[in-house]
């Protein structure tokens, strides 16, 4: 039976053009969306941008633009990047979208009426880079532990969300939903921190106005993370989309696990809204073994990523090189190595050899013994469990088997019609399984091998010379 499948990416800060880190989460979400489409599920894939908050307001000021104008100018860069990467999302949400602002306002009022929001004074630190509150003991030499920049000292009137009240409900929720925090290795760390106790959370700011006003006190704007997290929910309040809530999975980077695994379900429980099924935190990419940093020029943007070896090789590399929950190191050399060694030499070669043989010879339908060696069940399980690297490794092991088959059957001499049939069908199956990962090449292969007259086509993956 067809099911619904709702997958989201974080909504990115549109303060600069998207880079490899943003591309990673978005490609993974695209892979899952495509995978569920193959299964026949009804899919909703949401991505977008986090337009409000101090960080954007500051970046806009630096650029000499209003925040709205500044973000309006950057949004096309995100949309273009996703188009180039063949990302097929269903909606691109912005937190400045009217329907989203309305939902946030309604939820704030509801949580306020319930008594979970109260007025107080926030005294502590704030890192605009993280858009997060810190206590003195969280800081390292007065600096944000993530950005290593000086945290701003604040003392201001603020509204607070009674997060402390949700410690027990959260612990109960984690217990009843053991797969909510994924992968498993991230779970205990979060649970331990929640067990240590939760302080109430400041959810409004009064000293700048780039945000959604609190419906019960218009002098305050909503804290950017409260606003942002609700994007996932507000996108499903549109007509026809209601059935998609709760989300099946929020894909995020491990940097924002705390916001998604603690604040988010607490807000939802308070508002009486169902919690999502799963938050999957993937690892962090470094670039040539160094932390990705815009300020130090250690960053690779989407155009650069694509220019190395093409869109499909970039998509393939990011999901193949590292288990999805682990950290990974990106280098041009590593990408080119996989492009040459796996996509060109293995997949590309198989396609070229078999299509050349079929162009000149006949095929004859037979029982496909070769295809039995493809571990479809295992591959399906791997993808369903976010083990994309293992799924790809299995698919490529089967490609090896096919290449050996061509060799061992001495096809150049025998031109065995039945063996050619087995290979053709196997290639079509490989293309199906690879479609979520490398859609453009897979579609080319499918078109080529389902044609009435199969022809030796163009080279799919040209080998690239590596020059450091």
Active site residue 19: yes
Give Cα 197 distance to the centre of its chain: 30
Active site residue 291: yes
Find the DSSP H helices in 132-166. none
Q: How many angstroms separate the CA atoms of 156 and 142, rounded?
A: 19
For residue 21, the minimal CB distance to ligand ME8 (Å) is: 2
For ligand ME8, the closer CB: 180 or 421: 180
Active site residue 339: no
For residue 48, the minimal CB distance to ligand ME8 (Å) is: 9
> Closest Cα to residue 88, out of 446, 443, 430?
443
Q: Which of 291, 369, 373, 462 does the annotation list as catalytic?
A: 291
> Closest Cα to residue 203, out of 251, 284, 132, 305?
132
Q: Which of 127, 222, 275, 402 does the annotation list as catalytic?
A: 127
For ligand ME8, the closer CB: 283 or 457: 283
For residue 9, the minimal CB distance to ligand ME8 (Å) is: 7
Q: How many angstroms separate the CA atoms of 16 and 14, rounded?
A: 6
Active site residue 130: yes
Which residues bind to ligand ME8, rule: CB under 6 A? Answer: 10-13, 21-22, 24-25, 50, 228-229, 252-253, 255-256, 284-285, 292
Q: Which of 39, 84, 147, 417 does the annotation list as catalytic?
A: 147
Q: What is the dihedral of CA 349, 355, 359, 365, to 10 degrees?
A: 140
Beta-carbon contacts of 15 under 8 Å, excluding residues fewer than 6 positions away, are: 55, 56, 59, 74
Q: Is the peptide bond before 162 cis (omega within 30 degrees of 0)?
A: no
For residue 12, the minimal CB distance to ligand ME8 (Å) is: 4
Q: How many angstroms separate the CA atoms of 441 and 351, rounded?
A: 11
Q: Which of 54, 130, 275, 390 does the annotation list as catalytic?
A: 130
Measuring CA to CA, how many Å separate 392 from each of 13, 310, 379, 387, 413? 31, 18, 8, 9, 32
For ligand ME8, the closer CB: 195 or 298: 298
Q: How many angstroms separate the CA atoms of 305 and 302, rounded?
A: 5
Give Cα 331 distance to the centre of its chain: 20
For ligand ME8, the closer CB: 231 or 355: 231
Contact between 71 and 35 (Cβ < 8 Å): no
For residue 131, the minimal CB distance to ligand ME8 (Å) is: 7
Q: Which of 52, 144, 282, 424 does the annotation list as catalytic?
A: 144
Residue number, nearest CB to ligand ME8: 21
Active site residue 144: yes
Torsion sign, CA atoms 411, 415, 419, 424: positive
For ligand ME8, the closer CB: 291 or 365: 291
For ligand ME8, the closer CB: 11 or 43: 11
For residue 421, the minimal CB distance to ligand ME8 (Å) is: 43
For residue 22, the minimal CB distance to ligand ME8 (Å) is: 5
Q: How many angstroms separate the CA atoms of 441 and 195, rounded?
A: 49
Active site residue 402: no
Q: How many angstroms separate the CA atoms of 49 and 74, rounded?
A: 10
Contact between 232 and 46 (Cβ < 8 Å): yes
For ligand ME8, the closer CB: 301 or 448: 301
Q: Which residues are catalytic?
A: 19, 22, 127, 130, 144, 147, 291, 294
């Amino acid at each position: 039976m067809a099911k619904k499948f709702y997958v989201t990416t974080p909504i990115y800060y549109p303060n600069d053009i998207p880079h490899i880190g943003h591309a990673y989460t978005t490609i993974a979400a695209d892979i899952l969306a495509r995978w569920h489409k193959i299964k026949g599920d009804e899919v909703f894939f949401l991505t977008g941008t986090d337009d409000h908050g101090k960080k954007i307001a500051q970046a806009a000021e630096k650029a000499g633009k209003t925040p709205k104008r500044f973000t309006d100018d950057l949004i096309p860069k995100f949309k273009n990047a996703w188009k180039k990467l063949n990302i097929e999302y269903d909606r691109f949400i912005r937190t400045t979208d009217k329907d989203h602002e309305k939902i946030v306002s309604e939820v704030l009022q509801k949580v306020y009426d319930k008594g979970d929001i109260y007025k107080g004074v926030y005294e502590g630190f704030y890192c605009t880079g993280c858009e997060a509150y810190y206590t003195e003991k969280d800081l390292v030499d007065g600096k944000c532990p993530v950005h290593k920049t000086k945290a701003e000292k604040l003392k201001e009137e603020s509204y607070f969300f009674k997060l402390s009240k949700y410690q027990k409900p959260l612990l109960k929720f984690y217990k009843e939903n053991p797969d909510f925090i994924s992968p498993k290795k991230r779970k205990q760390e979060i649970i331990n921190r929640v067990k240590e106790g939760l302080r109430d959370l400041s959810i409004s700011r009064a000293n700048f106005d780039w945000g959604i006003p609190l419906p019960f006190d218009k002098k305050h704007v909503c804290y950017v993370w409260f606003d942002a997290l609700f994007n996932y929910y507000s996108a499903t309040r549109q007509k026809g989309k209601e059935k998609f809530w709760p989300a099946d999975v929020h894909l995020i980077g491990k940097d924002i696990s705390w916001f998604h695994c603690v604040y988010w379900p607490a807000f939802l429980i308070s508002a009486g809204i169902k919690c999502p099924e799963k938050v999957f935190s993937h690892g962090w990419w470094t670039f040539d073994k160094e932390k990705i940093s815009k300020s130090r020029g250690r960053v690779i943007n989407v155009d650069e990523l694509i220019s190395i070896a093409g869109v499909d090789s970039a998509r393939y590399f990011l999901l193949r090189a590292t288990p999805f929950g682990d950290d990974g190191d990106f280098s041009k050399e590593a990408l080119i190595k996989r492009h040459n060694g796996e996509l060109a030499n293995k997949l590309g070669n198989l396609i070229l050899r078999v299509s050349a043989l079929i162009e000149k010879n006949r095929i004859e339908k037979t029982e496909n013994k070769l295809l039995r060696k493809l571990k479809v069940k295992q591959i399906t399980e791997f993808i369903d469990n976010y083990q994309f690297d293992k799924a790809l490794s299995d698919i490529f092991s089967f490609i090896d088997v096919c290449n050996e088959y061509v060799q061992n059957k001495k096809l150049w001499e025998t031109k065995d019609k039945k063996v050619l049939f087995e290979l053709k069908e196997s290639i079509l199956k490989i293309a199906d399984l690879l479609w979520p990962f490398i859609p453009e090449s897979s579609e080319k292969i499918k078109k080529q091998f389902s044609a009435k007259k199969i022809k030796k086509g163009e080279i799919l993956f040209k080998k690239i010379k590596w020059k450091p």
